[in-house]
Amino acid sequence: MWVKISMVMDNYFDPAHALPLLEVAQKAMKDSFTVSIILALTKAQIILTEDWCAVWKLTEKVLENRALNLDLRPEAIKIIVDYMILYKDYCD
């Protein structure tokens, strides 16, 4: 799985090629916070030049999903939130 996830950062400006694999991973691991947040961050990277509020909303949706298994270290979640929350200011 890690090899496949690294595809997102192979080309920082074009992570879309990793979406099909991440969507398969999410279907296989519906309850995984890790898979859900990586998918959300990948989608956010794709729309980054279009809508900064939507970048936050994609992240926020995963963070608020209490049905997900928190299978990512709290320190990693904090790093993600600390960075992505900067985009919240662009929401009305």
Q: What is the mean pLDDT of the chain?
A: 90
CB-based contacts of 17-26 (< 8 A; 24+ apart in sequence)? 18/42, 19/43, 19/46, 25/1
pLDDT digits (tens, 9 = 90+) for 6-49: 566 666 677 888 888 899 999 999 999 999 999 999 999 999 99
pLDDT for 3: 44
Q: How far apart are CA 37 and CA 40, in angstroms?
A: 5
Going through the chain in order, the beta strands assigned E by DSSP cover none
Among 10-14, 67-71, 85-89, the least confident range: 10-14
Q: How far apart are CA 3 and CA 55, in angstroms?
A: 25
pLDDT tier for residue 92 given thresholds of 50, 70 and 90: confident
Place of tokens 């299978």: 71
- Check pLDDT > 90 for residue 51: yes
pLDDT for 31: 98
pLDDT for 18: 85
pTM of the full structure:
0.87
